[in-house]
Amino acid sequence: MEGPTEISSNKMFEGFNRRYKHYSPTLGCDMTFSIFFPPASVSKKVPVLYWLSGLTCTDENFIVKSGAQRAASKESVALVAPDTSPRGLNVEGESDSWDFGVGAGFYLNATQGKWANWRMYDYVVDELPKLLSSHFHQLDTANASIFGHSMGGHGALTVFFKNQNKYKSVSAFAPIVNPIDCPWGQKAFLNYLGDNKSSWEEYDATYLVKKCNGLSKTILIDQGEEDKFLHNQLLPHKFEEACKIANVPLTLRLQPGYDHSFFFIATFIDEHIEHHSKALHAS
């Protein structure tokens, strides 16, 4: 596997934000990703916390806006933020709308025609961890957790449910938890996966949680009550009901006055990193 090239490096809270570029065989194009290395990574391997971003984002939004590095430095956890879709493939229509195509990979493996390279699920679950393991000796990639926001919250939950042996914990900010029943998800699934709706269930957290058979790991979700997407796109109460049926522990915190933005994420990010640190440092 060809190694990544460093694009930039910035010191922060005694650690370093570093951004990389590499060619992805899975996606068929160059991809970028960002890593925050906490200061502890100088002397020992540190666990990995993957962040999956939302619609229109790149790997940089979270790194620049969230302020997550303060807690990650304190908790000795590396942050890894991939991009949200392939870029530069010049697929017809890939940039026609903000909620589909470029910047909107939905962390699934597309099956339909021209979208066949949209395989962000395989990239996040398989290719990127192998790349990190091969080229970054500071990272304990076998000790990992995952979280995200909006479309990325959807991605974090579905990736976790389908790979519980790979991740110690999961959390999300304002996730799209029931994409089968919301406009964003229906648009993405129809175009990426086709009209066989049974295949859609494989990327819907509200369906997947029902297969968990009494998962013991608590899921943490923060949701702003003033989020304009709450009632027609995000649907957290449907997921809450599914967790109760499946006997899966969920902490769903509805935060008064907060919206869908990075102001909301930055307010509660430390608590999410502490949530994951407990799981990552438990062994």
Selecting among 22, 154, 260, 272, the annotated active-site residue is 260
The tokens describing 81, both together, are: 């933020």
Best CA proximity match to 121, nearest among 90, 89, 166: 166
Residue pair 147/171 in contact (Cβ under 8 Å)? The answer is yes
- Rounded to an integer, what distance in angstroms lies between the CA atom of residue 3 and that of residue 63? 22
Catalytic residue among 34, 150, 169, 277: 150
What are the helix (H) ranges across the chain? 60-65, 69-75, 120-122, 128-135, 151-162, 183-193, 197-200, 205-208, 236-246, 262-280
Sheet holding 250-255, edge to edge: 5-12, 15-24, 29-37, 78-82, 46-52, 139-149, 170-173, 219-224, 250-255
Q: Which residues pair with 16 in a beta bridge?
A: 11, 37
Choice among 227, 272, 275, 277 that is catalytic = 227
Question: Does the annotation count 34 as an active-site position?
Answer: no
> What is the Cα–Cα distance from 241 to 101, expressed in whole angstroms?
31
The Cα angle at residue 255 between residues 189 and 178, in degrees rounded to 5 = 15
Query: What is the Cα 276 distance to its own chain's centre?
Result: 14
Enclosing H/E stretch for 112: none
List Cα–Cα distances, 114 to 34, 92, 122, 130, 207, in angstroms: 28, 8, 17, 27, 27
Active site residue 216: no
Phi, psi of 45 (to 5 degrees): -70, 140
> Does residue 122 have an active-site annotation?
no
Amino acid identity of 46? V
Active-site annotation, residues = 150, 227, 260
